[in-house]
Structure 1
Amino acid sequence: MKFPLVLHKDPDSDYGVTVPDVPGCFSAGATVAEALENVKEALALHFEGLVADGEALPQAQQIDFHIGNPDFAGGVWAVVEFDVTPYLGKAVRFNATLPENLLQRIDERVSKDARYASRSGFLATAALRELSDAG
């Protein structure tokens, strides 16, 4: 899932990172690259806490949803890819039937795109995207 982020830099400080769709999730780094890498760890820890507390997992909104919020004024927007599937519960095996050509296209994408470790990962990502778009 792609989460929008806001980076802020005050004089004599590290870059601060806020994740608007995950209240209470913050991170920082000495460089922009470090801040963007550190936010993935912050998201993982935050999601682990939500799961442990039985809370609902947040859904990512588009940057446009947040851009008018004065809390984020003066910040630089970025997006980070974060895999939420480990926090959705135990994996369950099921059978599915798909057209052969569609399955072949999925397999080609999985083999070329490092975001997907498997066909199942691709399908889970597609399902999450579709469900989040549905509101």
Structure 2
Amino acid sequence: MTCYIGLIRKDADSDFGVDFPDFPGCVSAGSTLAEAQQMAKEAFMREDGEVLPAPSSLENIMSDPENRDGSPVVIEVD
């Protein structure tokens, strides 16, 4: 099992969004925090045998000013 950092973001008039700094363009969302976390795991569906890159550290992700408005969450990927 590998763990990646997702960033939860929410505006007052939106669902909970999750984006992944290690996978630009990969986003997910849910109407509740729990649903957003579950949908984030499903965003990692991949072809059999496809290898994912090594995850970035939390420190590296949060050092990017564009990520500082997100709340980090650990997403476990099989």
TM range (shorter): 0.7 to 0.9
| Identity percentage of aligned residues | 40
Q: Which residue of 2 aligns with 1:43?
A: 44
- CA apart distance, 1:57: 2.7
Q: Specify every segment of 5 or more residues in structure 2 that has no aligned partner in the other structure, as ranges.
A: none
Q: TM-score, normalised by structure 1?
A: 0.52
**Quick one: distance in 1 between partners of 2:25 and 2:42?**
14
- Post-superposition CA distance 1:6-31 (Å, at most 9, x none): 00001110011011112221100111
Q: Specify every segment of 5 or more residues in structure 1 that has no aligned partner in the other structure, as ranges.
A: 84-135
Count of residues paired in the alignment = 75
Asked if the contact 1:22–1:58 (Cα under 8 Å) also holds between the matched residues in 2, the reply is: no
Superposed counterparts of 1:79-118, under 5 Å = 79-83=74-78
Deviating beyond 3 angstroms after TM superposition, the runs of 4 or more aligned structure 1 residues are none
Structure number with greater CO (CA < 8 Å, separation at least 6) is 2
- CA apart distance, 1:58: 2.0
- From the CA coordinates, give the structure whose radius of gyration is larger: 1
* Bigger fraction of residues in strand: 2
- Post-superposition CA distance 1:78-110 (Å, at most 9, x none): 101101xxxxxxxxxxxxxxxxxxxxxxxxxxx
Q: TM-score, normalised by structure 2?
A: 0.85
Indicate whether 1:66 and 2:61 are aligned. yes
Counterpart among 64, 73, 76 of residue 78 in structure 1: 73
